[in-house]
Structure 1
Amino acid sequence: MGKRTPLYDQHLALGAKIVDFGGWDMPLHYGSQVEEHHQVRRDCGVFDVSHMTVIDIGGPQAGDYLRRLLANDVARLGEAEALYSAMLNVQGGVLDDLIVYRTEGGYRLVVNAGTRDKDLAWMRQQAEGFDVLIAEQADLAMLAIQGPHARVKAAGLVPQGFSELILDLPPFTGKAEGAWFVARTGYSGEDGIEIILPAEEAADFFGELVGAGISPIGLGARDTLRLEAGLNLYGQDMDESVSPLSANMGWTIAWQPPGRDFIGRAAVERQLASAEKPPRLVGLVLEERGVLRAHQVVRVNGFGDGEITSGSFSPTLGKSIALARVPAQTAERAEVEIRGKWYPVRVVQPTFVRHGKVLV
């Protein structure tokens, strides 16, 4: 038996198929993964993401500490703003990817569930010499309400002041309203919000959302939605052996000012200066019948082999798509080995769908 979120009993009552996900018993789907995917693209749905780890960083040197810990620069953040960042090791590999919010009292980080213990140990180790407080908020739950109608529908189910916050919140920001925290980041390629709230209040609010017609969505659709949006999944598309330059995350590195010595900076700078360009993460589209899966070999004529990191059937495109790490020189075409046969694939920018629009 794995760890369970405060909504576990509701998932069972709604007929969810429960699977292990990073040591958590989580809903894969509630009947049809494909229908749940379309529901988010066309309307909205609610995900239980209470397995994610929420960590608050406070103290007089919280900003200095995070400017050392993270490849992106929290000095860029105004009040209530958020940014996406990698947390790197000394060798320049990705220990985790995360969202950090600037809050009234400091900073709030949301990190991956499967890396919780590793992340907390690393963060506490790197805090030596800084006057900071690192506090995991294990008594909180998190719901992600995603889709083109998500904010309007969610706003209709909360008190007026809270409703206005949901409707007015700009993208990539997060604000507290009492014990609740509302953010607008997302992991689906659609608009929406995340609500972090006390665990004891989560079941009632989840029930109100579902009762109002906001469909519960499982991990299966969450994965195909994020894949269509070209969003990485830690442990598949990158890990501590992979540079952010090889995970389509170079844009998350804040190189200015030059004197900010974030962990991993020297290693990534050496990669940039090397004559041998690192592999890069691209999108693949299979035009023929078949399914692209993680770890399938990608052959690039004249430049060597790569590998699919994430792959699946795309319900929106009606085709199989993938993210793949391939030689830097890869152009517009490649081949993938599926069950001993080679199939041609189109190489594209790794964003297939955003806000309901097909981009490839």
Structure 2
Amino acid sequence: MSDAPLLRTPLYDSHVALGGKVIPFAGWEMPVQYTGIVQEHHAVRKAVGVFDISHMGQFIVSGSGALAFLNRALTNDVSKLEIGQGQYSLLLNEQGGVIDDLILYRTEASEFFLVVNASKIDEDWAQFHRLITETENVCFRNYSSSTGGLAIQGPKSRAVFEKVFGPSVTFPEHNTIVTSEDEIGPSWLCGTGYTGEEGFEFFMPAATAPEWFDRLVTAAREEGGLPCGLGARDTLRLEMGYPLNGNDLFPDKTPLQAGLGFFVASDKENFVGKAALLAQKEAGLPSKLVAFKMTGTAPPPRPHYPVLHGGQVVGEVASGTQSPSLSTGIGMAYLPLEATKIGTVIEIEIRGRNFPAEVVKKPFWKKA
């Protein structure tokens, strides 16, 4: 446990003014909920929600060597990105384990905008700089402390966008980015999210974040939406089977084990961790991250609860919660391969009692 003081986003006072319940998260004081996790969850599924994501990190990587460097540092194939496009990727250690999962956008021919996890900003920065060689023309700029961020998610997100930004600004479609700059600093509109709903993320100079937050929350309320906290963000992402770094992704687990092989361009000439991934693929995976759903009346599964198969403990819950959309417990866990087939019956030990569950296909929830 770190003794460092908790950090606050530019929107801390806004959260308090709205009655947000603030808790420690990844070294920050963040709102876990305003009106309630379930209510906020349903607002995103049915209308729209506004999340503070100012705690996340933003790097700009530029220079004639930026593309080649990022292709060597990350798992996905950066060369496939056209200007204005983005992709999900992973930063690995030499053993193939996940340091961080991140979103990478190509903003210019030789410039890239990276959004990294809040708890990994310093570690990612250090890893990237360990990898840069003296002969490479690569420049790193860290905008994390000077930038605010908001995620607007839900079927009414496009209506909110049009109300706030007007017809002259183009809505960023999925995995695209629109950049702009004024006298205060740069802003980025990104067509990504972490809920499974249509939406966008907006990064802006920190000084302007409270005003943008107020405008977006007002527009969201007009569309039947709400400001939302980390609690709903977690239930929404888990219903989609999206991994959370530190819960589902670890330095001793590879993307292959996490089911993220689609984001590993194994045909690239080289990238950090490639040799380890090829060796693991050849030898066979020791475990695999699977989704499971409780099959009877049971308390919600929570992280670190034991998972049993054939009467033996074979793993523990990585992420787990009560799904507001499905009204049942759901979760993910790393299990040995013999327990990973869809339909496999497992048990979750909850407060000394075993409750039945079964391995299911992701995502847990799909739009009707």
* TM score, norm. by length of structure 1: 0.94
Q: Which residue of the other structure, out of 139, 142, 146, is the alignment partner of 1:136?
A: 142
Q: Are residues 1:240 and 2:251 paired? A: yes
Do structure 1's residue 28 and structure 2's residue 32 form an aligned pair? yes
1:342 & 1:8 partners in 2: Cα distance? Answer: 41
CA distance in 2, matches of 1:127, 1:343: 50
RMSD, aligned α-carbons = 1.4
Which residue does 2:331 correspond to in 1?
Answer: 322
Cα drift, residue 304 of structure 1:
6.3
Superposed, 1:244-255 pairs within 5 Å as 244-255=255-266
> What's 1:221 paired with?
232
- Correspondence 1:174 to 2:183: no
What amino acid does structure 1 have at the position aligned with 2:264?
Answer: I
The residue type equivalent to 2:295 in the other structure is E
SS of the residue 1:320 aligns to: strand
Taking the aligned partners of 2:29 and 2:214, their CA distance within structure 1 comes to: 19
Instruction: Tell me what 1:287 maps to.
Output: 295
On the 8 A contact 2:196/2:237 being kept in 1, the answer is yes
Could you tell me which residue of structure 2 aligns to residue 146 of structure 1? 153
1:302 CA drift (Å): 8.6
* Cα distance in 1, alignment partners of residues 13 and 311 from structure 2: 54
Contact 2:257 2:285 (8 Å CA) reproduced? no
Q: 1:201 aligns with which of 185, 195, 208?
A: 208
Counterpart amino acid of 1:77? L
Check if 1:335 corresponds to 2:347: yes
In the TM superposition, what whole-angstrom CA distance separates every residue of 1:325-356 from its partner, at most 9, and x where no partner exists?
A: 111122322111112222110111231124x3
Please give the per-residue CA displacement for 1:1-35, whole angstroms capped at 9, x wherever unaligned: 51111111110000010001111111010131110
Native 8 Å contact 1:228 1:352 kept in 2: yes
Q: Which amino acid aligns with 2:307?
A: V
Contact kept in structure 2, 1:303 and 1:329, CA below 8 Å: no
1:347 maps to what in 2? 359
SS state at 1:271 partner: helix
Give yes or no for contact 1:145–1:192 (8 Å, CA) kept in 2: yes
Identity %: 40
Paired AA for residue 294 in structure 2: L
Structure 2: runs of 5+ lacking an equivalent: none
User: Aligned runs of 1:247-326 on 2, under 5 Å?
Assistant: 247-257=258-268, 260-274=269-283, 276-288=284-296, 289-301=298-310, 305-326=314-335
**Alignment check: 8 A CA contact 2:86 2:175 kept:** yes
- 1:112 maps to which residue? 117
**Code of the aligned partner of 2:365:** V
TM-aligned CA deviation for residue 132 of structure 1? 0.2
1:91 to 2:98 alignment: no
Structure 1 stretch displaced more, 95-104 or 341-350: 341-350
Structure 1 residues not aligned, in runs of 5+: none
Kept after mapping to 2: 8 A contact 1:303/1:327:
no
Contact 1:281 1:350 in 2 (8 A): no
Deviates more, 1:105-114 or 1:177-186: 177-186
- Comparing 127-136 with 10-19, greater Cα deviation is found at 127-136
The amino acid that maps onto 2:361 is Q
The offset of 1:101, in angstroms, is 0.3
The residue type paired with residue 354 of structure 2 is W
Q: What's 1:38 paired with?
A: 42
1:191 corresponds to which letter in structure 2? E
> How many equivalent residue pairs?
349
Q: Secondary structure at the match of 1:18?
A: strand
Residue 315 of structure 1: CA displacement?
0.3
Q: Quote the offset at 1:287 in angstroms.
A: 2.0
Q: Which of these residues, 65, 74, 84, is aligned with residue 70 of structure 1?
A: 74
